[in-house]
Amino acid sequence: MVFIHIVLLPVRSGVQAGLVNNVVTKLNDLVNCIPFVVRSSCGRTVTERGKQYTHALVVELERADQLSLYANHPAHQAVLPLIKEIIGEDALAMDFDTNA
C-alpha cells in the first residue's frame, strides 16, 4: 500500500523547452534522492483533457505520514523555485491513501 501525491502543473506558453525538461528531469529523479519515495513520475499530457494543466507529477510514498517529510525534504525544496519559474498560475495538488 502506498500514499499518492499528485500535482498538476500549468506550464506557461513560451517557456523554453530546456527549462521545462530540467524540471521534469529533477521531478523524475526525486525517487533517487528521497529514500521513502517509491516512485516519481512527471511528464507532459498527450491529450487536451488537462485544460490549462500541461504536466503532471505523481509521487508514491510509503506512508501518509511521510507527506510533510517529503514536502520539507531538501531535494523537493530545491525543485520548487524551478517549478515556480515555469508555471503561469498555481499548481493543483491532490493526495490520497490507497489504504482508505
Q: Which is more confidently placed, 82 or 51?
A: 82
In the prediction, which pLDDT does 51 show? 87
**Which pLDDT score is estimated for 100?**
65
Q: What is the 3-state secondary structure (H, E, C) of the chain?
A: CCEEEEEEECECCCCCHHHHHHHHHHHHCHHHHCCCEEEEEEEECCCCCCCCCCEEEEEEECCHHHHHHHHHCHHHHHHHHHHHHHECCCCEEEEEECCC
Give the tens place of pLDDT for each residue, 9-63.
Answer: 999 999 999 999 999 999 999 999 999 999 999 999 999 888 899 999 999 999 9
Q: Would you say residue 75 has pLDDT above 80? A: yes
The confidence score (pLDDT) of residue 77 equals 97
**Grid cell listed for 1:** 500500500
**d(C-alpha 6, C-alpha 58), whole Å:** 5
